[in-house]
Chains A and B, each alone.
Chain A
Amino acid sequence: DIQMTQSPSSLSASVGDRVTITCRASQSINAWLVWYQQKPGKAPKLLISKASRLESGVPSRFSGSGFGTEFTLTISSLQPDDFATYYCQQYSRYSTFGQGTKLDIK
Chain B
Amino acid sequence: EVQLLESGGALVQPGGSLRLSCAASGFIFSNSAMSWVRQAPGKGLEWVSTITYSGSGTYYADSVKGRFTISRDNSKNTLYLQMNSLRAEDTAGYYCAQSRVESSGWYYFDSWGQGTLVTVSS
A positions within 8 Å CB-CB of B: 1, 30, 32, 34, 36, 38, 42-46, 49-50, 87, 89, 91-100
Which DSSP category, helix, strand, loop or mixed, fits chain B's interface? Answer: strand
Contact present for B44 and A99 (CB under 8 Å):
yes
Count of chain B residues near A, Cβ 8 A? 23
Which DSSP category, helix, strand, loop or mixed, fits chain A's interface? Answer: loop
Number of A-B contacts defined by CB within 8 Å: 63
Lowest 6 CB-CB distances: which A-B pairs, in order? Answer: A43-B112, A95-B47, A91-B106, A32-B104, A97-B45, A34-B108
B positions within 8 Å CB-CB of A: 35, 44-47, 50, 59, 61-62, 95, 100, 102, 104, 106-115
Report 7 cross-chain contacts, Cβ distance below 8 Å, ordered by A residue.
A1-B62, A32-B106, A43-B95, A44-B45, A91-B104, A93-B104, A95-B47
Q: Write out the residue numbers on chain B whose beta carbons fall within 8 Å of the beta carbon of A30.
A: 104
